[in-house]
Structure 1
Amino acid sequence: MNLPAQKKMKRCGTCRGTRVETYEGSLVAEARLCSECLAPCPECSGSGEVVVNEDGYRLIRQCSTCLTPTKRARMFTKACVPPRYHRSTLASYRAIEGNQGSVRDGLVDYIKNYRTDPRGILLIGDPGVGKTHLLSALIRGLTLVHGVPCRFVEFGQLLSQIKVGYQSGQTEEQIVAPLVSVPVLGIDDMGKGVGSEWEMMILDALISRRYNARRPVLVTTNYRLRDPLNALHAPSHGKSTAEIAVDPIAKGRTRKDRVRAARQRVSESLEDRVGARVASRLGEMCYVYGVEATDFRKKGLI
């Protein structure tokens, strides 16, 4: 069988080697083949097919040059990242102050080692420190670099979906199944808004089923864990654990001191917002990072 010769392609400045470029869609961030290095594809001229000779026959095969980038572009679009964050990468995250640099470095390592690490990420911090940017960047890296299907959902939107499903007569299984089956689920702003008891029960079922299936979640929240010892799950990446803890209170000498300081710092914890069971599961199935910085919106950096 004579396959077309593969041309060695230079690293593109537009797509950074992914052969996919993203853009701001009307409802979600979308992706397409890179307009610089794959428009049109040098092998198939954009048709997606090539003609090969096999045992004297001319056969049509899928183009190996643009097949994978095409799949990953569709995968990124299906992830439903907000349009505003279509360009978000870990490299473009501005680590200006606090421990932002340490957090970013930890997430870079997480993407590099994703295939060997089944755990997720829990990002905790005040509004305006870049948590949604980081979540979007993680999903971008997983879909475009590793080819891992992901789904981004805002917590309030998730509660709305649960409510609509319930009102339309769907069962718990029908509501939860699509969010359980996706390999990586990203939930932004967990704890924002308080759902009904039934909605919290569905959320508990969702997190528990992903926990049991060892499918990672990527979560952001403004609410700290009541027990800051959970922050010690985050790998230190050459720095002391306290540098990337959820809160400086993790530097306390005893567990009792740390818990007391945590309760003084915030009036409500993640446990208060989503229940102790869900928060505990997240603390166990995720690396927990606290982002300590000033609201960049108030600093005029937006």
Structure 2
Amino acid sequence: MKYPKKLAKRADEILAARRWDAERRQAHTLALLHEQHPEVEAARRSLASLYAKRGTAAIFEPDTLEGIDAQISAGREQLQALMAAAGITEADLEPSYTCPACMDRGMANGQTCTCRQTILNQLVYEQLCDVSPARECSFDNFSLAYYDREQRTVMGRVVESCLRYVREFNRESKNLLFTGPPGLGKTHLSLAVAEGVVRSGRLVMYVSAPHLMDELERGKFQKDAAALEYREMIFGCDLLVIDDLGTEMVTSYTRSEVYDLVNTRLNTSRPTIINTNLDLRDIEKKYTSRVYSRIAGTYAVVEFKGRDIRLQKREKG
């Protein structure tokens, strides 16, 4: 799955800035070298001239190569001695790139460098935070204390399953349906999963159902370029989290889009997590038996029970 254009562009801008900064610092170092140790700079230039002379001789005067190689060897020894006396190393003369493997270009051996992937992962996470309370929703601060004794045991197992889901995430991972009344931690837990999957280098999209339907409609009927790219990401991302399914205005169009999205992602083995206050029967009534059949038959249903956690916090607060 390719990353959104704006994120890829931003990653390349960050890499270009790193490269420019490394080369600027190198230029500054070389300027100081020329000023403070002219003998070292003169030896470097002399050696560079000898290498250029050797290149020409290899073509036009091959019989002179032995003599030039001897000069190069002597020149290197002289340069090393001068650098040692000045306390300068070879590394001081080269750009100090953040990533030596790709020299901050983002590509190494024809492949995307891990440094660019790391930048993209961070940008995806920041985008996730822009559209959700992801920074506030982690496994570490998901408290079981708000569930009664029986449900606490069940939710403890759910949390462990979600942690395992993150550790083992791949194209064959299950689709999840988090269902239950508001305020029981569905969004919190799904975002904790989303964060973990992002950190492993996958493209994760989080969207509320009302916003999702608005954007899909804009892309389909207005042919808006940004909305079309958004549609491509929603259908093709590694993990999609849909929050509050059922709170959007349900029409024949939205029913069709929900089915198309659920069905396409199932057929292309791209896992989805759906949070909803609806149970399976409500889903069938709202979205037709086709949607119900796909979700009931292929999603792992996780039922959240208990008393609204937000209300509990307010009462204690």
TM-score by length of 2: 0.58
Is the contact made by 1:194 and 1:273 (CA closer than 8 Å) also made in structure 2? no
The alignment status of 1:148 with 2:202, answered yes or no, reads: yes
User: Map of 1:216-255 to 2, 5 A cutoff?
Assistant: 216-226=271-281
Separation in structure 1 between the aligned mates of residue 105 and residue 258 of structure 2, nearest angstrom: 41
The alignment status of 1:71 with 2:120, answered yes or no, reads: yes
Separation in structure 2 between the aligned mates of residue 140 and residue 48 of structure 1, nearest angstrom: 29
Higher helix proportion, which one? 2
Equivalent residue, structure 2, for 1:299:
312
Secondary structure of the structure 2 residue equivalent to 1:152 = strand
Equivalent residue, structure 2, for 1:161:
215
Q: Which amino acid aligns with 1:283?
A: A
Q: Which amino acid aligns with 1:292?
A: K
Aligned residues: 210
Q: Which amino acid aligns with 2:187?
A: T
Note the alpha carbon deviations across 1:26-78, whole angstroms, 9 max, x for none. Answer: xxxxxx9xxxxxxx9xxx89x863458xxxxxx93569885553231012124
Note the alpha carbon deviations across 1:109-137, whole angstroms, 9 max, x for none. Answer: 21122137432211111100011111111
Separation in structure 2 between the aligned mates of residue 67 and residue 157 of structure 1, nearest angstrom: 30
State the identity %. 21
Separation in structure 1 between the aligned mates of residue 205 and residue 264 of structure 2, nearest angstrom: 16
**Deviating runs (4+, > 4 A) in structure 1?**
61-68, 173-176
Q: CA deviation at 1:181?
A: 1.3
Equivalent residue, structure 1, for 2:56:
none
Is the contact made by 2:184 and 2:309 (CA closer than 8 Å) also made in structure 1? yes
Root mean square deviation, CA, Å: 3.2
User: Map of 1:90-239 to 2, 5 A cutoff?
Assistant: 90-96=139-145, 97=147, 98=151, 99-115=154-170, 117-144=172-199, 146-169=200-223, 174=228, 176-226=231-281
The alignment status of 1:82 with 2:137, answered yes or no, reads: no
Per the alignment, do residues 48 and 150 of structure 1 end up closer, same or farther by CA in structure 2, a change over 3 Å counting? Answer: farther
Equivalent residue, structure 2, for 1:27:
none
Separation in structure 2 between the aligned mates of residue 135 and residue 157 of structure 1, nearest angstrom: 18
User: Map of 1:7-46 to 2, 5 A cutoff?
Assistant: none
Separation in structure 2 between the aligned mates of residue 180 and residue 116 of structure 1, nearest angstrom: 14
Q: Which runs of 5+ in 2 are unaligned?
A: 1-10, 12-17, 26-95, 107-112
Per the alignment, do residues 117 and 298 of structure 1 end up closer, same or farther by CA in structure 2, a change over 3 Å counting? Answer: same
Higher strand proportion, which one? 1
Separation in structure 1 between the aligned mates of residue 287 and residue 239 of structure 2, nearest angstrom: 20
Equivalent residue, structure 2, for 1:287:
300
Q: Which runs of 5+ in 1 are unaligned?
A: 1-31, 33-39, 53-58, 227-268
Is the contact made by 2:175 and 2:273 (CA closer than 8 Å) also made in structure 1? yes
Is the contact made by 1:49 and 1:62 (CA closer than 8 Å) also made in structure 2? no
Secondary structure of the structure 1 residue equivalent to 2:103 = strand
Task: Please say which structure displays the higher CA radius of gyration.
Answer: 2
Is the contact made by 1:184 and 1:216 (CA closer than 8 Å) also made in structure 2? yes
Is the contact made by 2:165 and 2:173 (CA closer than 8 Å) also made in structure 1? no
